[in-house]
Amino acid sequence: MTVISTKEPILTGYVSRNETISGGKPVITGTRIKVSQIALEYERLGWTPDQIIDAHPHLTLAQVHAALSYYYDNLPLFHEELIENKLFLDSISRHYPAKTTSAHAP
């Protein structure tokens, strides 16, 4: 069995990257739907591929499965993106604190 090792993730016909679309993040080709969005809906929200298609009727089942396959093949890339997003949100929260308070807050 031959194992191919590359530094860059392998893109498929269903997944592409373009610096002018979604900041160069991997997207489903021909759309602005990020692979990370599909992965979030699948992993965090617990949606099935069919439910993802219901939410995005312009996608095909093959596109959803290709996005999930790309996600699982490149987990470190997406974990870095999650960390970057969390750091960005933390930074924004410090600069723009909430102006309202909850009656339930301690």
Under a CB-based contact definition with an 8 Å cutoff, are residues 82 and 44 in contact? Answer: no
Read off the pLDDT of each residue in 13-40 and give the average, rounded to a whole number: 92
As a whole number of Å, the end-to-end CA separation of the chain is 59
Q: What is the pTM of this model?
A: 0.71
Shortest CA distance to 13 belongs to which of 62, 48, 52, 47? Answer: 62
Structural domains in the chain plus CATH codes: 15-93 (1.10.10.10)
> What's the mean pLDDT in 57-78?
93
DSSP string, 34-84: BHHHHHHHHHTS---HHHHHHHSTTS-HHHHHHHHHHHHHTHHHHHHHHHH
Q: Are 21 and 32 in contact (CB under 8 A)?
A: yes
pLDDT digits (tens, 9 = 90+) for 76-89: 888 777 777 778 77
